[in-house]
Structure 1
Amino acid sequence: MKVRVDSEICQGHGICHMTAPDLFLLKDEDGYAYVEREDVPAGQEDLAQLGADSCPEQAIIIY
């Protein structure tokens, strides 16, 4: 499973980070979310999906 944050859509709500802080990081300069690695570690697939489902802007893509 892979995950990414669409930086064009993200509005910096931070809900994904609150849901899965090890997967979704926030940029210091604007608070927008990003992922360091697109590959979701084994056992964290549910958290990645929960983060995507929690995004009010639907800026998180799971593939």
Structure 2
Amino acid sequence: MKEANKDMATVKADLELCQGYANCVVGADDVFDIDEDGVVVILADQVAPEEVARVDAAAQSCPVSAVWLEDT
């Protein structure tokens, strides 16, 4: 596992909570995807500071709060 950059935010997901709405994918398809079972897939687990607002907005659009960002 690679070491997290302290300036980056980490993308987290609760796979059991995910219901496959895909709002996160619409907002940040370079970070989120949905697999064939309708569950979120994290494509990029680290987000650069200049991308945090966009990716956080995508995460916040999840109606069940299954994805979020954490500061490292």
| Larger Rg over CA atoms | 2
Q: TM-score range by the shorter chain?
A: 0.7 to 0.9
Contact 1:4 1:34 in 2 (8 A): no
Matching residue within 38, 42, 47 for 1:40 = 47
Aligned to 1:22: 30
Unaligned runs of 5+ in 2: 1-8
- TM-score using structure 1 length: 0.83
Matching residue within 37, 51, 58 for 2:58 = 51
Aligned to 2:11: 3
Select the structure that is richer in strand: 2
Where do 4+ consecutive residues of structure 1 move more than 3 Å?
none
Contact 2:56 2:68 in 1 (8 A): no
Which one-letter code corresponds to 1:21 in the other structure?
Answer: D
